Amino acid sequence: MTPLTRYAKSGDVHIAYQVFGSGPIDLVLAPPFVSHVENFWDQPDNARWLLRLGSYAREAMFDKRGTGLSDRDCGIPTLEERMDDVRAVMDAAGSDRAALFGQSEGGPMSILFAATHPERTRALVLYGSFARSNQRDWSPERFEARMVEFDRGWGTRSCGRNLVSRK
């Protein structure tokens, strides 16, 4: 059963989130590049993983502004705006202090949130994330070629793989 999707208000933006599971700690899942809180449950591997997390923690997961079920037309958010979205979700979920699980692109924002709000951060977990990206050294042509590859693979299991090459 898919948990109920609710909306937290962060400034003028509505952030879609779900709360599920139980346990002694709260865990906030900071999503990767693309997310959709209801679609995650339609994917068997993701659903099993979420249920496992929910077996030992009360979890809150959300769609970043501009993605999934959150408000779409809100520009390109700053890290500070994204941190405020986490705060809004935690407040709406009734969580004073939580462990943050930063997945991929959600990692740098989670690091900044933990450093800025240590009183609200119980722990920090990073999965498939990075402190900085080597993409800043990419030429515009190289970046465009990677985006074409990403677009071609959208909706397939290979989508997003090998987008960052190793030097």
The reply to whether 139 and 69 lie within a common domain is no
pTM of the model: 0.81
Quote the strand ranges of 23-118, DSSP E. 25-30, 57-62, 98-103
Residue 140 burial class via C-beta count within 10 angstroms: exposed 0-12, middle 13-18, buried 19 and up: exposed
Do residues 139 and 71 both lie within one domain?
no
State pLDDT tens for residues 107-152: 999 999 999 999 999 999 999 887 666 666 677 888 788 778 877 7
Structural domain including 155 reads: 133-167
What are residue 18's phi and psi, to 5 degrees? Answer: -135, 145
Are 60 and 88 in contact by the 8 Å Cβ rule? The answer is no
Residue 111 lies in a domain: yes
Count CB atoms within 10 A of the CB of residue 45.
8
